[in-house]
Every structure is written in C-alpha cells, then in structure tokens.
Chains A and B, each alone.
Chain A
Amino acid sequence: MRYWVALLLAGILVTGSVGNEPTGKRRTKLDPATHWRPPIQADAQTLEVLRRINSVDAYEVPDLGLRKDENYAFTAEKVKPFGYVEPFKRHFLEQMEYTGPGRAKPEPDHVDTVKIGFIGPIMSTVSVATGGKSHEEPMGIKMLQGVRLAIEEANASGGYLRRKIPFQLVVSNDNGLWGASGNEIVKMAYKDKVWAILGTIDGANSHIAIRVALKAEIVMMNSGDTDPTFIETNIPWVFRCMGDDRQMGYLLVDYMYHRLGLKRVGIIRASNRYGRFGVREIRDGSRRLGRPVVLEMAYKVGAEDYSLQLERLNRAGVDAVVHWGDASDGAHILNQMRKMGMDQPFFACDRCLLEEFVEIAGPNAEGVVCTSPWNPARTDPKYVAFRGRFRKRFGEDPETYAAHGYDGMNMLIWAIQMAGLNRAKIRDVLAHRAEPWPGVTGDIPLSACLDDLGEVFLAKRENGRWNYYSREELELPPRYVPLRDRVKRGAPALSAR
C-alpha cells in the first residue's frame, strides 16, 4: 500500500515535467534523482523507477520491487515436468536483478549519435547449426527492415530527444561460423559502444550473444529466436519480445489432443538446434498428457529427399505429422507426403507461415495448421497504421520477423529515451515496466524472466489464406489457471473434446 502511495506521490510530483534538457555538449550537472526529466511521457511507475535508479551510487542497489510469477510460463498443471512431485527448487519465478555498479556511470559528454546494435542473419555465410550454408537470411533481412523502420521513425521524431541527436543502427551479420557472433557482440559492446543490442534468430548464436552481453553488461533484446531455453539462463540483461516455442507448443498440444482428439502424433524436424529444442514441449507435453509422440525423425536442413523419414512415420501409423524446421523444408516435406499418399493432418512451426512455404507447397498448403507468435490479421489501428508505413517504406507487408523487430527496437528506443545513455538504467526501465509493451504485434507482457508471455495463435490455411485463432476462439482451456481460481471454479476439463 505504502509503495503505491509513494508511486502516486511521485507521479503527482513529476506530472507535467516532461521536457527536454538544454541542448549542447556541456550540460549543467544536476542531481539526477530530482532533476532527471524524461523527454517523453512517462507513467508513474516508470518515473518512480527512474527516481530510484538515479538515487543510487555505484555500490547501492535500488529497490525496484522484483516481479514474482506464481507459475513458470503459464505452464498448465498437466504438462508440468514431473508434475506428480513438488520440485526441491523452482527457477525463473522471481525476477533477476542487476547488482553491479553500472548505474553510476555518467552519461558521456560527447556523443554524436546514439548507437544501437543489430545482429541478425542478413548475409549468406556458414551456419554452425547446419554445418553448411546458412539458411535464415530471409528472416534476418525482414527483421532488419522492421528495425530500420523503427530507427527511421524515431529519428524523424527528433532522435534522442535529450540531446537532439539521431539514433544510429550498427548492423552486424549473424555469422555462425565458429561462433563468430560472439566476436560481433564484443565489437559492438566495446568498440562501437552501442547502448543496447537487438538480435538474433539462430538459437546457438543467440545464446552466445547473451553470454557476452552478461559479461559486457548490455541489454540484449531478442525478437526472433523462439528457442525456450534462450531466456532460461538467469541473465538479468536479456529480454525477448516474441512468444516462444514453449508457448506455441503448449497451444498446439492442446489443439491436437483436446480439440482434435489425435492419439498418434509423429514429428519430423530439422536436425539443428531450432528443430531439436522447438519440438521439446510438444514431445514432453504429449507424453505428459498420456499420448506420447509415436516417432520423431530428424532431417538434414535443405535435404531434397525426406522419403526415409516419411516412410517410417507412415509405417508407425501416425495420425498427424508435426514439422519443425524452415519453410522450404516444410513445404517439400508436405509435398512429398501427399505424393506418397500420406493424407494425415500437417502441423508446423511459425517459420512455415513465410510466403516461401505456400509458394512451394501450392494447393497442398490448404488445411495446414501453423503456430504463430502473433496475429497479423488483426485490424487494430496501431497495427494497421504500422502495416501502412511498412508497405510505404519497403513495398511489401511486414511479416513476423519484421513486426517483432520493429517492436523490439521500439522498446529499446523507449528505454533509452527514458533512462538516458546508461546501459544499466536502460535495462532497469525495461525490466520494471508496469504495463505490457503496446506493440504492433499485440501486447507484450514480460514474465519474471523477461520473456514475452503474450498470447500466441494457431494459423489455419483456409480457402487460400491464413486465418488466425486464439486459444479462446479454439475453445481450448486456459493456459494456466491460478490456484485461487481453481479453488473457486475447479480446474478446466482437459478431456478430449
């Protein structure tokens, strides 16, 4: 109660204080705790966070109130690991805090631009994941488009408002060869001196990047890696603004078993980290619901012939196939399935929502169901306006990676405007936002481990177009029912519909 009163008072005290500091390279030294004026509108919670982080020196840790989740990642009781045992210790339920001295670093006097790093697969190279040619450029280039648009729009609105200097994007290719993405992050953190970094898509490179970010103490915003383990690292510098394969896997599992009543599901996946970790929740969830995956087959990324895997799946008598891998592989697998007379329902990951999938699969795409971290068919004004601006800038519609890249970069820009040029404070205002980020991809509520817990969807290919369905629209039980509600209303029925 006292906390909220303090928040309210802080809000009253600083309301109307939005404004810019005088421009120029030499600024009057003021007590930041009382004189810090965010140049954009700030809510009371953010102002209070600012007051507290600006009140500490290199040795103190501000009391920012750590977020506590009752449940990890909205995991339903029935698919919790070892659900019949209370674990000795649960992780990721309480927010990590940064306790280092970084908040005391003053904003530099001489800055011509405010640099923000981007790392993504934008040029063809060699991939650690596949041991061959890289394959994620179509996604990385889209992500860069969304990020560029966010930067351009911020600069059109005055750039970094406190100094009236532009934001500058420092772009690095996500070079998977021998883990060289780590070198890129080091370069951005220490040589380019960026204030925050956005990227990347490949799970291995993302992990390498965040290990570096932790040591270099810089925010890493991810808008393209759906690997659930990315965020399961206890690093207080890491954020993700996209629903992951855990969330999407839970939805698909519920749909397959509760809605469709399937009993013998088979998996075909890429033999890389994306495929391996992507299906993990589907495999585990199926088993925990008493319908273990009949067979899981891996294929080499970019393979042309999948008959070995498909024949074995068919022989195993699967009544549905789940694919986790790139769009082109997924489409070729689907075509080959149909050619072999396999008419089982085909489910796939969100990568198969890319145009490439439909182009290759053609009419076979009809009826396919894909997971999706967002609903691009939404018609809310914010998204529609973004789509219009994106079309104008790039001559095409934004897809998943572009839209999430846009949201992620805007979150970083917002945090920089709020906190100023201090990496630790940029982290703080992002990590302690009270409200979900109102993104073009939908609301982005962060969990205690700073992962996006927003709603995810299933996309069905119907009459030549993708239609998106929420959990509610699919009449599926809620992701997770808090204990208090279960006591009141009883647990939702999990029997097959």
Chain B
Amino acid sequence: MSNQQSLCRSPIALGTAIVLAIGWGLPAVAAEGLPYVYTDWKHFTVKDGLPNDHVFAVRVDGPRVWIGTEDGLACLDKRTGRIRSWKEKDGLPWRVVSGLDVDPKTGDLWIALFGGGLARFSGGRFDHWHQLNSGLVNDVVYGVAVENNNVWAATTAGASRYNTVTGEWTIFTEKNAPMEEIWNYAVTYADGKIYLGVWGSGVLEFDVATERWKDYLDPDREMEIDLYRDDGIVHVITTGTSFVDGILWVSSYFGMSRYDGRHWRGFYAHETGLPSDFGNAVKGRSATEAWFATDKGVGVLTDFATDTWVTYTMEPKTHKGRAVVSRGTKVLKVVDMERCLPHNYALWVEFDGNDVWVGTSKGLGWASGPDYYPGLKVEPIAGEEGESKNAARLAAAEAMKQSGVSSEDRPQ
C-alpha cells in the first residue's frame, strides 16, 4: 500500500498510471472498486437433517437458525451443526411453514403457517391460532413480524395484529386500511413502522405511533406496463418489503424497487445484475445493499450509488457456483466457485452478521463471509493478465481516486 501511495504522489507516475489504465481498457468502474463476493458456501438439505428441501423462510436468532420448509420446521445450531426438526407428528400445527420471526424480548418463535394459521413455539410447546379460535383473519398466512408487544400476520384475506400482552386482535382489511386488495403477501417491521407487501395493492406503511397508513402504488395504475422509470413502485403485485437505514426495498414479480423517502428507483433484469424480474423476496442490508431472491438466482445490489451488482447462480449441470460482478449490465468480473446457491429458485434471504443464508426450493445455503466488507473496495483483479498488470491497474485506480479524478471525468 505504501508503494501505491508513493506512486500516486508523483505526478509523472500518476499520468503514466492513467495512460496505462486507459490503454488497457481498464473499466472506469474498477477505479471505484469491487464489491465483496461470497465464495464459501455450505448447503443443507434433507440429507443433512432438514425435514424438507423446499425452504420458504429462514430466521437467525443468535446461534440458532430457524428454517421453515414445505413440510416442517427445523433449527440448525451453528455451534454444533446439529439440526432438529418438527413435523405435524411432533406438534407443529401444520406442515407448511411460510414465515418466521423471533420476539426479541421473549425469544419466542412465531410461525406463519401456509394454510394452518399462526403458531408460537415457546418452551418446547406449540400454541396455535387460526380462523376459528382467534382474530386471525385467514389461515393462509404468508408472513409474520414481531412489533413490540404485537405480532402481525400477513394473510391472504387481510392482515391481523395480535397483542401478546392484552390478547387483543385487530384485523386490517379494505374496510379500515387503504388496501385496494386484501391479499397480503409479506410483513416486516422496522423503525416504528410496519410494511405490508400486498398483492395488488403495492406497499402499505403503518405508523405504529400514530396508527396511520400510507400507501405506495404504481402511479400509472396499469398492470401491463411500467410507464415511466422511477416514477414509483414498479408494480402493485408486491412480494416482499424490507426497510433499513431509511430505505424501503421492495420485491415484486415484475421487478424490484428502492425508495429513499423522496425518490424511487426501479430495477429490472434487462438493465441490472438481477437474474430475473420474478422476485420472491428481498432483504435490505443497508441503504445501499439489498439481496433479491428470484426464480433464477440471487441478485445483490452491493452498491446503489454505482449500480454495482453481484449475481449468484448455480450451474445446473455441474452444481458449481458462479458470481458475476457487474455495473449495470457491464460485467466486471466473474468468479467461479465450487459451490454457491443450492438451487437457482431462491425464496428467502437472511443476514447473519457477515454471513448470509439463502432459502431455495432445493435446500438451504449458508454463505460465510468473515472478511465481508460493505460497498466497494479496490482490490487486485485476478485473471489472465497476471499480477503485474493487476498491480498497475490497482495503482492507476488508486491514483485516480487520490487525485480526485472521478470515473465520469475520465475519457471513455
């Protein structure tokens, strides 16, 4: 590093480096660095003790990783690698677990059951709420979120809120919320607000303090088009919401969206590193990083400002993995690895410190990233050109960075 710094301080060296960089066709983007790429993946399937390979939901709680599958609930202890599972015969009220959340105060696990209502797993016991014994508005529950003393359930016929202290239920439908349709698909809680992803009704934001609703709809109000880019949420059929660092991330079956409270940004596969527009779920990691689980892999917007993506897929024939780093549609780097996603049909993403868990329709993936860094970092570019070229590129990039030459300023 010291060598690079001294190189950059010399005007001649700086000029040489820039000329070299341009001469070699160094992408302007390299000067801004590259994102972290997860290359250490582990897979968990039925062979490892999962009750079923079709993983709908994952929730990390300290050393425990809760896993909701199409036929049972599982808990992986990261310390021991041991997996415990529960099926209907073990007391799980219904086989299909579609959502999970943990109450931070009690440690209780709340379970969304797809067609079976809502359950709480606490002290080794399952408690069960459904349409006929509670205020749960429907038994087809897609998602669950804990908000203070309340538990929210996104159901196919509205949202229900259960106060775990008073036992009171509140139902939200088109009658008392701005739901153009009542088909709730996802629910998350962050910073005093509940975010509902509603199929046909975009995203609904509920302010817990004021009990007021705000809706986010596609401004053109047409199903078959997105009229103008970035004019609002890309489509009203939303599948996931995630609010972090003041940013709302949204997934839909028609593309993805980001909202900073003032500006919307839409993301489509044809112009980004998204593997597909069919988004099953989204998880925001920060204001600039979000992971989108799609039907053709996982697309990660690693740096919003520079539109830098990492696309994770599995090569179906060899089962080897691949990560493609791109800026917009321009590929910057391809990283091949022994393994990556367990399957390209990704259904869920969960963060675990520097690690990431990905639920797919054929197993659970655990991406380990002890040296993960957010955003971008200038790093040597491995490849056929060899180390000397890489060093020169690195020097040039660093020189440009230090001299204040931005990528936009450089000749193209």
Counting CB contacts under 8 A, is B95 at the interface?
Answer: yes
Q: Tell me if B131 and A91 are in contact (CB < 8 A).
A: no
Instruction: Tell whether, in the assembled complex, residue B255 and residue A99 are in contact, meaning their CB atoms are under 8 Å apart.
Output: no
Q: Are B155 and A179 in contact (CB under 8 A)?
A: yes
Neighbouring B residues of A178 by C-beta, 8 Å: 131, 137-138, 157
Nearest-Cβ distance from residue B219 to partner chain A, whole angstroms = 11
Considering the complex, give the chain B residue whose CB is closest to the CB of A186. B115
Report yes or no: A211 in contact with B226, Cβ–Cβ below 8 A.
Answer: no
CA distance A91 to B225 in the complex (A): 6
Residue B47 interfacial (CB < 8 Å) = no
Are the C-beta atoms of A81 and B362 separated by less than 8 Å?
A: no
Which B residue's beta carbon lies closest to that of A92?
B224
**Partner among A90, A101, A187, A212 whose Cβ is within 8 Å of the Cβ of B362:** A101
B contact residues, range = 35 or more
Q: Contact check: which of B95, B116, B156, B268 meets A212 at CB < 8 Å?
A: B156
Instruction: Digitize B338-370: 1 where CB-to-A-CB distance is under 8 Å, 0 elsewhere.
Output: 000001110000000000000001100000000
Q: A91-B224, A92-B224, A100-B295 are in contact. Are A234 and B278 (CB under 8 A)?
A: yes
Contact among A58, A81, A208, A233 with B156 in the assembled complex (CB-CB below 8 Å): A208
Max chain B C-beta neighbours (<10 A), residue from A91, A96, A190: A91
| Interface-located stretch among B187-195, B312-320, B389-397 | B312-320
**Tally of chain A residues near chain B (CB < 8 A):** 42
Contact yes or no, B185 A187, CB < 8 A: no
Is A72 positioned at the interface, with any CB of B under 8 Å from its CB? yes
The interface residues of chain A lying within 8 Å CB-to-CB of B181 are 204, 207
Whether A234 pairs with B222 at a CB distance below 8 angstroms is: no
With known contacts A82-B222, A91-B224, A182–B156 Cβ distance under 8 A: yes
The yes or no answer to B243 lying at the interface (CB within 8 A) is: no
Chain B residues, Cβ within 8 Å of A92? 223-224
Cβ–Cβ < 8 Å partners of A182 in chain B: 115, 138-140, 156-157
B226 touches A99 (CB 8 A): no
Q: Chain A: which residue is nearest B362 at the CB level?
A: A101
Complex-state Cα separation, A88 to B98, whole angstroms: 34
> CB within 8 A of B343: which of A58, A85, A186, A215?
A58
Q: With both chains docked as a complex, state the minimum distance between the C-beta of B340 and any C-beta of chain A, in angstroms.
A: 12
CA A59 – CA B345 in complex, angstroms? Answer: 9
Interfacial residues of chain B within 128-151, with CB under 8 A of chain A in the complex = 131, 137-140
> When the two chains form their complex, are residues A229 and B223 in contact, meaning their CB atoms are under 8 A apart?
yes
> 8 Å CB contacts to B: which residues of A377-395?
none
Q: Is the CB of A207 within 8 A of B183?
A: yes
Question: CB-CB < 8 A to A61: which residues of B?
Answer: 316, 344
| Most central of B95, B96, B224, B268 by chain A CB within 10 Å | B224
Min Cβ gap A328→B in Å is 26
Contact present for B223 and A211 (CB under 8 Å): no
Say whether A489 faces chain B, with CB atoms less than 8 Å apart: no
- Residues of chain B with a CB closer than 8 A to A73's CB: 224
Q: Say whether B110 faces chain A, with CB atoms less than 8 Å apart.
A: no
Task: Give the distance in Å from the alpha carbon of A61 to the alpha carbon of B344 in the complex.
Answer: 10
A100 touching B361 in the complex, CB below 8 Å, given contacts A59-B319, A90-B225: yes
Residues from chain B with a CB closer than 8 A to the CB of A123 are: none
19 residue pairs from A and B, CB less than 8 Å apart: A57-B316, A72-B224, A82-B222, A82-B225, A88-B226, A89-B225, A90-B225, A91-B235, A100-B295, A101-B343, A179-B182, A182-B140, A182-B157, A207-B181, A207-B200, A211-B185, A212-B114, A215-B98, A229-B223
Mark B residues whose CB is within 8 Å of A. 53, 56, 95-96, 98, 114-116, 131, 137-140, 155-158, 181-183, 185, 199-200, 220, 222-229, 234-235, 237, 253-255, 266, 268, 278, 295-296, 314, 316-317, 319, 343-345, 361-362
Chain A residues near B (Cβ < 8 Å): 56-61, 72-73, 81-82, 85, 87-92, 96, 99-101, 128, 178-180, 182-183, 186-187, 190, 204, 207-208, 211-212, 215, 228-229, 232-235
Please name 9 further chain A to chain B contacts, defined as beta carbons within 8 Å, in addition to the given A89-B255, A211-B183, sorted by A numbering.
Answer: A56-B316, A82-B227, A88-B227, A91-B223, A101-B343, A179-B157, A183-B139, A211-B140, A212-B156
